[in-house]
Amino acid sequence: MVEKRDVVRQMTKEAWNAYAKYAWGANELKPLSKKPHQASVLGGVPLGATIIDGMDTLYIMGLHEEFKNARDFVAEKLNFDQVFLDQAVNLADRLLPAFNSTTGIPYSLINLHDGFTKQFSWSLDRCSILSECGTMHMEFTYLSELTGDAKYAKVVNTIRESVSQIPRPNGLFYNYLNPRTGSWCGQNAGLSALGDSFYEYLLKEWIRTDGADIQGRQLYDIGLQALFNNGVFKKSAADNLFLGSYHHGTVNSVMDHLACFAGGMLALGSSGPNDVWFDRGIRITNTCRLSYENTVTHLGPESFEFGKNIEAVPIRKAHKTHLLRPETVESYFYLWRFTKNPIYREWAWDVVQALISYTNTSTGYSGLIDVNRLQKNWDDVQQSFFIAETLKYLYLIFSEDTLLPLDRWVFNSEAHPFPVHNRVILGDTNWPKLHPLTKQPKPVMPPSQSSISSHRPPPLPQSV
């Protein structure tokens, strides 16, 4: 496995060095054009997103020179003294105006210079998005613990309370929320782009706090069961389990690659291999693997459909892209850790080989326009999450479990590891910085989530 892990490490060096040569300080790289890629959700502002997003991957892989260059960029170009913690505080403080709604539900977009907020023009009734509302909880509560300032935890706990108190027709958490009225907008739900990480963070904040965030776990269980009860978990004609999207009482037969993370999440949140949710996680991951097998490049499409004589294949043009996404290999990672079934390493290696064969441009890695086409097929974007997530999970699959063990670390939605402990702060401002872990009774934890003996967050992992 060392040889395969080293191949992934070399891919990371190639992707990083190409970015450093042609787009340093920009958000992402256009590998074919050999220039920066700025058009993104970040608003075109050069924030060094690839640097910030990929730093921990460099550290984990032992790419120390590259890591030092990244750290120096943060220290010198972003002008922070304590570098990482100060960077986090500065960014969080600039984000806080987004929470200034009547309900505490944040607006989707904010100008970090002047604090002006607005919504996406395409969002339903200009409402906020469920996944965005939930996908700050780990970061903000952890920042409160590190700084001793409860204001960060307070804003995300307000979101949690607001969302939990909205009446849920059919038990569902809908994908859009009105930040002014605290009500749902429309009736759309699922584990794809607009809902996915809301559920993920409910579970992972419970894990991060070593079971102390009981509300998070309860809402996760309630939300998943509601999705199941309303038909979001569907069986195809060939008995493949997939995740559709709920819309006003009906569920479509299209699964997004983004939802492929759910296989790993369901296993992580289960009580073990005999849990029905563990089995569902395996089956969903098998379906995502099928979507890779069904393409000419053996790389997964952005979305894939099911129907009469159709099993996990992309039909529409927009569904045929491959953006170097991590979700499928993320599930391979969790299922490898939990089952030790060698098939997940075999599938991960297939992905590595396909990425090398079809996305390597020699000046970085590019997404594909069509997973069923071999020529003139690059989209000319090396996404920041390729280094931060896709390559990280592939590297970990071929590494020993002692590198970021899951009883000590939990990954956020962008694959950044957080230390696990057993206390969550919900308003108390009188706790010490890096407080000792309290001894509390533990609920049943997910597979491999055993007790932590240390009284401080675990040390940074050593590369192997």
Domain edges within the chain = 107-229+399-429+439-452+459-464
58 against 38, higher pLDDT: 58
Q: Which of these is catalytic: 28, 302, 305, 327? A: 302
Specify the pLDDT at position 1.
86
Does pLDDT of 80 surpass 70?
no
Q: Name the pLDDT band for 79 (thresholds 50, 70, 90).
A: low
Judged by average pLDDT, the poorest of 35-39, 57-61, 186-190 is 35-39
Q: How far apart are CA 352 and CA 8, in angstroms?
A: 7
Which residue positions form the known binding site?
A: 413
Judged by average pLDDT, the poorest of 124-133, 220-229, 277-286 is 124-133
> What's the rounded mean pLDDT across residues 169-181?
95
Q: How far apart are CA 230 and CA 172, in angstroms?
A: 8
Judged by average pLDDT, the poorest of 136-150, 243-257, 408-422, 449-463 is 449-463
Q: Name the pLDDT band for 175 (thresholds 50, 70, 90).
A: very high
Q: How distant, in Å, are the alpha carbons of 120, 124, 413 from that of 128?
A: 8, 8, 19
Instruction: Point out which residues pair with 378 in neighbouring strands.
Output: 368
Q: Name the pLDDT band for 125 (thresholds 50, 70, 90).
A: confident
Contacting residues for 93 by C-beta, under 8 A, at least 6 apart:
none
Q: What percent of the chain has pLDDT over 70?
A: 88
C-alpha of 333 from chain center? 13
Q: What percent of the chain has pLDDT over 90?
A: 80
Specify the pLDDT at position 454.
29
Q: How far apart are CA 314 and CA 303, in angstroms?
A: 6
Specify the pLDDT at position 376.
84
Contact present, 239 and 306 (Cβ < 8 Å): no
Does pLDDT of 290 surpass 80?
yes
State if pTM tops 0.75: yes
> What's the rounded mean pLDDT across residues 49-66?
97
Q: Name the pLDDT band for 42 (thresholds 50, 70, 90).
A: low
Which residue positions form the known binding site for Ca(2+)?
A: 413
76 flagged as catalytic: no
Q: Name the pLDDT band for 81 (thresholds 50, 70, 90).
A: very low
Q: How far apart are CA 307 and CA 290, in angstroms?
A: 15
Q: How distant, in Å, are the alpha carbons of 54, 220, 428, 429 from that of 96?
A: 25, 25, 19, 18
Specify the pLDDT at position 43.
64
CATH of 107-229+399-429+439-452+459-464, one of 1.10.3720.10, 3.10.20.740, 1.50.10.10, 3.30.160.150: 1.50.10.10
Specify the pLDDT at position 40.
65
Contact present, 61 and 464 (Cβ < 8 Å): no
Angle at 221 between CA 217 and CA 223, to 5 degrees: 115
Specify the pLDDT at position 112.
84
Query: What pLDDT digit, counting tens, does each position of 253-264 carry?
Result: 999 999 999 999
Does pLDDT of 451 surpass 70?
no
Q: Name the pLDDT band for 401 (thresholds 50, 70, 90).
A: very high
Specify the pLDDT at position 75.
81
Query: What pLDDT digit, counting tens, does each position of 301-343 carry?
Result: 999 999 999 999 999 999 999 999 999 999 999 999 999 999 9
Residue 21: other Cβ atoms inside 10 A:
12
Does pLDDT of 382 surpass 90?
yes
446 against 291, higher pLDDT: 291
Per residue, the 3-state secondary structure of the chain, as one string, reads CHHHHHHHHHHHHHHHHHHHHHHCCCCEEECCCCEEECCCCCCCCCCCHHHHHHHHHHHHCCCHHHHHHHHHHHHHHCCCCCCHHHHHHHHHHHHHHHHCCCCCCCCCEECCCCCCEECCCCCHHHCEEHHHHHCCHHHHHHHHHHHCCCHHHHHHHHHHHHHHHCCCHHHCCCCEECCCCCCECCCEECCCCCCHHHHHHHHHHHHHCCCCCHHHHHHHHHHHHHHHHCCCEEECCCCCEEECCEECCEECCEEEHHHHHHHHHHHHHCCCCCCHHHHHHHHHHHHHHHHHHCCCCCCCCCEEEEECCEEEECCCHHHHCECCCCHHHHHHHHHHHHHCCCHHHHHHHHHHHHHHHHCECCCCECCECCCCCCCCCECCCECHHHHHHHHHHHHHHCCCCCCCCCCCEEECCCCCEEECCCCCCCCCCCCCCCCCCCCCCCCCCCCCCCCCCCCCCCCCCCCC
The number of CA neighbours under 13 Å toward the Cβ of 25 is 6
Specify the pLDDT at position 82.
53
Does pLDDT of 130 surpass 50?
yes
